[in-house]
Amino acid sequence: MDALEIARWQFGITTVYHFMMVPLTIGLGLVVAVIQTLWYRTGKVEYLRMTKFWGKLFLINFIMGVATGIVQEFQFGMAWSEYSRFVGDIFGAPLALEALLAFFVESTFLGLWIFGWKQLKRGVHLACLWIAVIGSVFSAYFIIVANSWMQHPVGVQMVNGRPVMTDAWAVFTNNTALVAVPHTLFGALGVAGAFLLGIAWYHLWRRRHDGIDTVGADGRAIAGETNIPGRDKADYKVWIRSLRIGAVVAMISFAGTAFTGDMQGKLMFEQQPMKMAAAEAACHDGTGFSVLSVGNVGSKNCNDIVAVIEVPGILSFLAKGDFTTEVKGVNGLLDVYKAKYGTNLPNDPLYGDRAGQQIQYVPVMEVTYWGFRMMIGFGGIAAFAALLALWVTRKGVVPQSRWIMRLAVFGILAPFGANAAGWIFTEMGRQPFVVAPNPDASGIDQVFMFTAAAVSPGVSAAELITSLVVLSSIYAVLLVVEVRLLVKYVRGGVASAMPELAEAGHGEKNEKKKDGDGGTPGAPGEPGTPDDVLAFAY
């Protein structure tokens, strides 16, 4: 592998890894904020417990997103200095604004939320979480604006061979970004929905398995008690409500991703036709959507690809909104790209060993083809599972089957898979460009950059491979640590996030639960004693 390939692997690995944490942070953050709002409005104890439990898992995950996000910002300069020089005038601005306007908000107010349970009034404390969550949504917006400019450069002019920003409004309202943002946010909600659904299912199953909950003659759940902290009747409500919320969120998310994804697809057929042709493995112009195609693995020659299952008309619908307009295939597009952007890379030292080589305009088709299908497939599976789960649990019980429980827990991974596949598809599909040309504006059509020219010229392959190995190993270790911690706290149940439940003792706790507005000991807004400085963490 040469420096370029190593740098690309590194970017891919670190980005996909970072993007395993981010959707859960955004999605779960929103859900926790809604749940805490419900607690604020109703005072019901189960909502407080839900806030604490899901909040704990949210924080365990949040920090990994923070830690891996710094790598993203640094590696543009470290590994992709030519890219940074080329796009700095535009691309740096959303990154800087993300830090200044969004991430500052998120980090600061999350600190207030974590530590402020007793320092802040209930309403202020809740507002802190909302502000942090809104900050994370803005974070997503700014980052996607930056990414969308690479997919579809707008608002610039070429001056002395570099794009210079001329219209910030165009950059920040790039239509590519405006559909990618809701698509990504719905994708994040899908992760959160499946997460709630799977974990709540597990707990409900466990309660039946342990004989705590039983089923009445009418098939409805009868919630039981034990003298284990956090496994009382309120705990049953925690899990059944979490399950319902999770399932609904997952279904809303699928509807949202499908709707925005369709808009995004139509845009992409205009803006990056080659990406979509490659996603279809469509060599020749046509109208049929391929559900399954086969060809020689790794073949760049698209003529040996055979469609096994093809639905006529659907491709036209995805691309143009009708069932008859032919969509351009790879072969036809190749001529267009060659005519516009040349057949060979320039003979410039910037391109290193690749200078003068023929340009490969077709992205790796296996990746785009299967990336596209996995994104849709995993998303669909998650939504269908959520619908099924709602039906099966309509009487408040989960089946006793261990296998269905395992499927529900395993199903947590489906939206993660869909998210990762979506990003891999959209990023790999942009190749060989790091900044894809914008075909719908003649002036901006010439703003593009080949990935081969973007890597840092002064950095050796040895340095890159070192960092690839170091970062990947650390990520692997930390993933194990995070998952183990999550599993531990999931198994711990609500009491793991609310030690006060356990310490109050069983009978005593039930007494206190009923007082006032339903707050439990340790609720925010109660006058704290000086000893309460450290309420929540560390």
Partner 1 sequence: MELLPTVWFVAIAVLWTGYLFLEGFDLGVGMLMKLFARNNTERRVLLNTVGPVWDGNEVWLLTAAGATFAAFPLWYAALFSALYLPLLIVLVALIFRAVAFEYRGKVDNARWRTVWDWAIAVGSFTASFGIGAALALTTTGLPLDSNGDRQGGAFAWFSGYAVLGGLAVAAFALVHALAFLALKTDGDVRHRARRWFVRLAPVALLPLLAWAVAVQLLSGKPWTWLLVILAVVAAAVAWVLARQGAEGKAFGALGAFLVCATGSIFGAAFPVVIPSTLDPAFNLTVSNASSSAYTLGLMSIVAAVGLPLVIAYQAWTYWVFRRRVSAAHIPAAHGFLPAIAAKVLVGNESPGGTAANHARHNASE
Looking at the DSSP assignment, which residues form a beta bridge with residue 162?
159
Task: Give the number of C-alpha atoms closer than 13 A to the C-alpha of residue 167, restricted to the C-beta side.
Answer: 13
State the nearest-atom distance from the C-beta of 223 to partner 1, in Å: 15
The binder of partner 1 chosen from 3, 22, 24, 114 (CB under 8 A) = 114
Three-state DSSP at 75 gives helix
Q: DSSP letter at 350?
A: G
Interactions with partner 1, residue window 21-50 (CB under 8 A): none
State the nearest-atom distance from the C-beta of 520 to partner 1, in Å: 15
Binding to partner 1 by residue 79, rule CB under 8 A?
yes
Binding to partner 1 by residue 93, rule CB under 8 A?
yes
User: Which residue from 466, 395, 97 is spatially nearest to 243, judged by alpha carbons?
Assistant: 395
Which residue in this structure is represented by tokens 């199903």?
411
Binding to partner 1 by residue 507, rule CB under 8 A?
no
DSSP for 47-68 reads HHHHHHHHHHHHHHHHHHHHHH
Identity of the residue, 515 or 532, whose beta carbon is nearer to partner 1 in the bound complex: 532
Interactions with partner 1, residue window 227-256 (CB under 8 A): 227-231
The binder of partner 1 chosen from 34, 144, 177, 212 (CB under 8 A) = 212
Interactions with partner 1, residue window 419-458 (CB under 8 A): 456-458
| Residue type at 135 in one-letter notation | G
Residue 69 neighbours by CB under 8 Å, 6+ apart: 18, 22, 103
At 259, list the tokens: 């709707």
Binding letters toward partner 1, positions 134-173, x by CB under 8 A: -------------------------x----xxx-x-----
Distance (Å, whole) CA 166 – CA 495: 56
Binding letters toward partner 1, positions 342-361, x by CB under 8 A: --------------------
State the nearest-atom distance from the C-beta of 81 to partner 1, in Å: 4
Binding to partner 1 by residue 483, rule CB under 8 A?
no
Residue 174 neighbours by CB under 8 Å, 6+ apart: 145, 148, 149, 152, 154, 155
Interactions with partner 1, residue window 119-138 (CB under 8 A): 119-120
Distance (Å, whole) CA 14 – CA 280: 27
Distance (Å, whole) CA 437 – CA 340: 10
State the nearest-atom distance from the C-beta of 79 to partner 1, in Å: 7
State the nearest-atom distance from the C-beta of 123 to partner 1, in Å: 14
Identity of the residue, 53 or 448, whose beta carbon is nearer to partner 1 in the bound complex: 53
State the nearest-atom distance from the C-beta of 212 to partner 1, in Å: 7
The binder of partner 1 chosen from 474, 479, 512, 526 (CB under 8 A) = 474
